[in-house]
Amino acid sequence: MLFFTQCFGAVLDLIHLRFQHYKAKRVFSAAGQLVCVVNPTHSLKYAPTLCAAAQVSTEQGILPPCHHHEAVHDPQLLPCTCPLFSCAWEGHLEVVVSHLRQTHRINILQGAEIVFLATDMHLPAPTDWIIMHSCLGHQFLLVLRKQEKYEGHPQFFATMMLIGTPTQANNFTYRLELNRNQRHLKWEATPRSILECVDSVISDGDCLVLNTSLAQLFSDNGSLAIGIAITTSKVHSSEDEM
């Protein structure tokens, strides 16, 4: 009986997952778009020292050192950039992707256009939804966060970070789109570098910001579907040609 109950529960989970995919594809019907169902995670990272370290200028190619230890570290080492956890890991920029995938189990999708389907939007803040997007030979980190900027008034913040340098980030443009019930909302901007702190980007409001009422207009039964597209910046493309 216990075996049957567990199997039945797994079947229900599979049916629910397929239903979530169907709802996203119904909203975003463009050919070639991949759908990623992302479950929420309560953020455990509230260490301002990490953000302060991540805000160190990288104009001269110097990456911020990790301040978890008193020993002298290689200035090219980068502290963990995962916005969910206070992680003591540090390493070079080239191995950030493998660390995020292996240690923090962050999913990665490939394709020019994908659909980010965040579930359980009703959960209390702070809550994060995170995936990686592989496109145009680079990897990007999409962060959707539910956070109370003012007590009792939660908001949703969505931003795209390039796992690369600020100079590389300036070569791209990302677009976030929401469509539901004949409503359309689009945010387009240049991604920020992962060398910057995600928390500071959200605090500055340099991202897609939704209040609770607006998020409910675009959500479907507690899930929010966000279409994601990344393109090469036309300005920088023309400059390269010159």
Beta pairing class for 172-180 and 108-110:
unpaired
Residue given tokens 């500055």 in the structure block: 204
pLDDT in tens, 202-225: 889 999 999 999 999 999 999 999
What SS3 state is found at 76?
A: coil
- Residue 91 lies inside a defined structural domain of this protein: yes
Top pLDDT among 139 and 58 is at: 139
What's the mean pLDDT in 132-151?
A: 92
Spatial separation of the C-alpha atoms in residues 25 and 32, rounded to whole Å? 10
Q: Is residue 214 part of a domain?
A: yes
Decide if pLDDT at 65 tops 50: no
In three-state secondary structure terms, 68 is coil
Q: Is the pLDDT of residue 7 over 80?
A: no
As a 3-state breakdown, the chain gives helix, strand, coil percent values, each rounded to 5, of 30, 35, 35
Provide the number of structural domains found in the chain. 1
In a domain, 56, yes or no: no
DSSP state of 221: T
Residue 203: φ, ψ to 5°: -65, -35
In a domain, 55, yes or no: no
pLDDT at 158 over 90: yes
For 143-153, write each residue's pLDDT tens digit.
Answer: 999 999 888 89
Q: CA nearest 205: which of 157, 169, 160?
A: 157
Answering whether pTM is above 0.75, one says no
For residues 44 and 177, the model is more confident at 177
In which domain, by residue range, is 181 found?
30-39+77-232
Q: What is the CATH number of the domain that holds 123?
A: 2.60.210.10
Residues β-bridged to residue 36? 116
